[in-house]
Structure 1
């Protein structure tokens, strides 16, 4: 009993002393540290800007996580608000952390979408707690969830790879998976039947939740197209052989679909009428001759343009997995398919190479921006880069440590006004109130329109100063002791768009307030507050 009590005390003590810091790391200097929001511990970015004039305006949308299979009782201790959807600006400064909002839950495919002709955000939440399958969410620009998308009861976990809003915001595409007992005699293992992880996709009406289209690989793709080693055909069911592994699905104006399969090294065009495979790009049975290029283990295949003779696609050529590679480094491709030629041909029209000449063996995506720039997530450390149409690297950025990764990253223009008010903290410094300085810290998690702050003495609403917004948290020094204060957030045109609550200034330890000795909390100074809360 003594040992058990000692162990529990040690664990609880570590969690208190380190404020939830992941104990695999010596400290948390790779994470944000704010006076106003000490619970937010988001990964810091290391940014290298090569050509600021060529960079397209917009925010980065990422979703840091440590392990893709989130543990119910993690072996490492996580910061309170570290994992989940995040927005950063073009300098890598945090704009919004949604980690607390999602209870520090693994999140994927966080991006801006159009729903009912209005701007929203969408994301996939991994299974956690009572939500044992996970689900998709759509949030408004105040970060409130307005729609949730769930799998049917017959399908397992909500797949992490894709939540694609299509058909003018009325439908959602997401990947589905289930174990199926299949005819495996063609694989040459001696088995006639075996368990296979069947992959496909589902199209759902966002308004009603009704499934409007469903497609399964086993119905249309032979098992022999797979390029991965055959494993575990005899079960158990949850770990059946994953022969296909979908990682993206898109839809064109004609109602047909584009599916990327990592484990067949192939991109499939699927009929929206009956689900048959219209053509295959790559893999063992390609419908096209690939002119001067190859690809493998690709991600994020998208329709860009189609006419009666040509189809233009974009995708990330990972060119590798943990066990093999087909190129020296990964790249993002735009490929033109000539569907009128005999035989049909495919050629690369644009290529953007990974700047550090490394391989993205897992994850990643490629987004073609309105300007023609390429915004690419190479995944590890949330390594991202932006390139001009002619291939120039405009900037590159990655998390400052290897603590976290992000499955995808996007760039969008975005405007948000959170429902929660700005947060203000104030501290007094000096020998006495007559010779003191009051230091104010203010932030507003997720607000994109704040250009400056006004600071007021609460007792008579006297303006004590103003300052332009600087990063996530702005600091202002006011001469004299301000007993109670509040702050207003101002837009570029001078409008007040948010107001903090009234906050009492924390006093130095040796002060007394109205004849009363300063409380324990008042004996706090801001460095202790910053490091320990």
Structure 2
């Protein structure tokens, strides 16, 4: 069989990563010259590029292989370690623990959390569904012995979010195919789409306490995605929910990649309290606060959110990806940029990514499909950087066991 040239291979990989088979295109929200995302192929093995003394100590938690959140069905041979594993390494890259799923399975979102007052390992395990996932969320002890597996009642657990709260609940994303009228976005009256559901589950009992449906609260016209009618197995994905956290008073803050927006939801009534970004932001977005295709929207403090801004619109990168800190004032309806942290190499991340707050003002995280894991000091100096074979959905630094 004739060997493909490198440019052809990278074109195939890039097309798959940005989801050209997902039956949607995203309308540009800013004028920018077309630019391909950073090469998604990294080094053959975990390779440490920078490791400066003085930064936080700990172990790195990440997953190998293509994340289920990235719709890449085939990984060509010779691209390094692409097995589906949860891995713990020290900062030199030495593996100290690994869990590999059965062949054909997928694993993602591996991290430490706290359950019933003790540190646990958590991850998602299942199968990729073309940009999302269907499976279960897993809680294990620090030796990897499974304590619980969780799914919301009547729904599968999606790959994007599994977050434990201090009072024993779990915040879980689910993608649910439903029939819907798509005429408002150029589709058929009797079409299908992926509704995104945020569930709050009591971990001990497994009982679902709350379900919040994006389709029931957000109009399809708010989406940056447009139905193209490409057909095939893909289903229209207008929302693409990818993170859920509690706000300082216990309401839900939810990130939607295909809305380019984050929504604050009343956890009791389901009412949308405010939205930041997107077509119909209820906050006035100040200079530099817009984000596109974002991931991992969290609270840095009671008045400031931190997020990973992919800054991408399908195959067009609107600029470098970055971590952003944005101060919100829902009363005055304003959003103000506090800080922006880019990678010194100007990475452009097609999908996935996260940012974790560490002690003493340090920040750690994954650059997603631009296969880097990095750490930054409070002043913005890069104190740690490693390259992976093919990237990871999220990455965390913590003590272990």
Contact 1:336 1:348 in 2 (8 A): yes
Number of positions where the alignment pairs a residue of Structure 1 with one of Structure 2: 352
- Per-residue CA deviations over 1:355-384 (Å, capped at 9, x if unaligned) read 210211111111111221010210236411
Superposition pairs for residues 363-374 of structure 1, below 5 Å?
363-374=352-363
Match of 1:258 in 2: 253
Match of 2:113 in 1: 113
CA displacement at 1:228 relative to structure 2: 1.7
Measured in 2, the distance between the counterparts of 1:381 and 1:340 equals: 37
Match of 1:227 in 2: 224
Identify which of structures 1 and 2 has the higher relative contact order when contacts are C-alpha pairs closer than 8 Å and 6+ apart.
Answer: 2
Q: Does residue 1:346 correspond to 2:335, yes or no?
A: yes
Q: Does residue 1:284 correspond to 2:285, yes or no?
A: no
RMSD: 2.7
Which of 104-113 and 224-233 deviates more?
A: 224-233
1:134/1:340 CA distance change after superposition, 3 Å:
closer
Match of 1:93 in 2: 94
1:178/1:142 CA distance change after superposition, 3 Å:
same
User: Where does structure 1 differ by over 4 angstroms across 4 or more consecutive aligned residues?
Assistant: 69-81
Q: Secondary structure at the match of 1:263?
A: helix
Match of 1:123 in 2: 123
2:196 to 194, 199, 202: 199
Match of 1:10 in 2: none
Measured in 2, the distance between the counterparts of 1:66 and 1:252 equals: 31
Which of 115-124 and 174-183 deviates more?
A: 174-183
Match of 1:300 in 2: 296
TM-score by length of 1: 0.62
1:79/1:283 CA distance change after superposition, 3 Å:
closer
Measured in 2, the distance between the counterparts of 1:80 and 1:144 equals: 24
Q: Does residue 1:325 correspond to 2:325, yes or no?
A: no
Contact 1:65 1:84 in 2 (8 A): yes
1:289/1:73 CA distance change after superposition, 3 Å:
closer
Q: Does residue 1:361 correspond to 2:360, yes or no?
A: no
Measured in 2, the distance between the counterparts of 1:383 and 1:81 equals: 15
Superposition pairs for residues 98-497 of structure 1, below 5 Å?
98-99=99-100, 102-103=101-102, 105-127=105-127, 133-153=134-154, 155=155, 157-168=156-167, 170-189=168-187, 191-232=188-229, 239-293=234-288, 294-306=290-302, 311-326=303-318, 328-341=319-332, 344-380=333-369, 382-399=371-388, 402=389, 404-415=390-401
Structure showing greater Rg: 1
Q: Secondary structure at the match of 2:111?
A: strand
Q: Secondary structure at the match of 2:109?
A: strand
Q: Which sections of structure 1, spanning at least 5 residues, go unmatched? A: 1-41, 416-533
Contact 2:275 2:282 in 1 (8 A): yes
Match of 2:8 in 1: none
Q: Secondary structure at the match of 2:365?
A: strand
1:133/1:199 CA distance change after superposition, 3 Å:
closer
- Per-residue CA deviations over 1:7-60 (Å, capped at 9, x if unaligned) read xxxxxxxxxxxxxxxxxxxxxxxxxxxxxxxxxxx973211226322x111111
CA displacement at 1:303 relative to structure 2: 2.0
Measured in 1, the distance between the counterparts of 2:366 and 2:79 equals: 24
Measured in 2, the distance between the counterparts of 1:265 and 1:406 equals: 21
1:81/1:268 CA distance change after superposition, 3 Å:
closer
Q: Secondary structure at the match of 1:242?
A: coil
Measured in 1, the distance between the counterparts of 2:313 and 2:112 equals: 29
Measured in 2, the distance between the counterparts of 1:183 and 1:337 equals: 35
Contact 1:197 1:239 in 2 (8 A): no
1:75/1:374 CA distance change after superposition, 3 Å:
closer
Q: Which sections of structure 2, spanning at least 5 residues, go unmatched? A: 1-42
Measured in 2, the distance between the counterparts of 1:290 and 1:103 equals: 45
Contact 2:44 2:80 in 1 (8 A): no
Measured in 1, the distance between the counterparts of 2:199 and 2:78 equals: 36
Q: Does residue 1:45 correspond to 2:46, yes or no?
A: yes
Contact 2:320 2:346 in 1 (8 A): yes
CA displacement at 1:349 relative to structure 2: 1.1
1:260/1:272 CA distance change after superposition, 3 Å:
same
- Per-residue CA deviations over 1:436-472 (Å, capped at 9, x if unaligned) read xxxxxxxxxxxxxxxxxxxxxxxxxxxxxxxxxxxxx
Measured in 2, the distance between the counterparts of 1:92 and 1:77 equals: 20
CA displacement at 1:76 relative to structure 2: 5.9
CA displacement at 1:225 relative to structure 2: 0.7
